[in-house]
Amino acid sequence: DTGVSQNPRHKITKRGQNVTFRCDPISEHNRLYWYRQTLGQGPEFLTYFQNEAQLEKSRLLSDRFSAERPKGSFSTLEIQRTEQGDSAMYLCASSPDRGRGGGQPQHFGDGTRLSIL
C-alpha cells in the first residue's frame, strides 16, 4: 500500500492555459474524491466517483472543470482556460466502498499545488 499518489506536485502556468492533474488511488479503493484547498481554509469538496461513475459534483465545479475516471482506477482533473482564482491545492482522496454506517475513512494524497501567473 503506497498511499494516494498525485502528480505533478506543483504546476505553474499562465492564465488561460489548460492544466491536467492525475491521481492514483490506493489499489482496490472503489471511491475517489477531489477537493480544492486555498490558503488558510479547509478543503472544499469538488466531486467523487464510485468506480468509473461520477456520483456527485459540487457547484464549485464550473464548466471549465472536468474530472474523469475512465477505467475505475486513476483519475484526472482538467481545468480549461485557467483563471487567477483557480490557484489552490488540489487534493485527491480514495476509500473502499462506503459500507454501513459512518463510512470508510478517506485517504488523502499530498496534493497538486497550482499557481496561475
C-alpha closest to that of 67 among 82, 89, 52: 52
Residue 88 burial (C-beta neighbours within 10 Å; 0-12, 13-18, 19+): buried
Nearer to another protein, 85 or 102 (CB): 102
Site for another protein (CB under 8 A): how many residues? 27
C-alpha closest to that of 94 among 34, 10, 46: 34
Does 93 contact another protein by CB under 8 A? yes
Q: Which three cell numbers stand for residue 117?
A: 501567473
Does 8 contact another protein by CB under 8 A? no
Stretch of residues binding another protein (CB under 8 A), selected from 13-21, 62-70, 73-81, 101-109: 101-109
Cα 60 to chain centroid, rounded: 13
Does 25 contact another protein by CB under 8 A? no
For residues 19 and 44, give the distance between their C-alpha atoms in angstroms, rounded to a whole number: 19
Q: Which of 42, 63, 70, 84 binds another protein (CB under 8 A)?
A: 42
Does 98 contact another protein by CB under 8 A? yes
C-alpha closest to that of 52 among 35, 31, 38: 31
Nearer to another protein, 93 or 116 (CB): 93
Stretch of residues binding another protein (CB under 8 A), selected from 10-18, 66-74, 76-84, 97-105: 97-105
Nearer to another protein, 14 or 102 (CB): 102
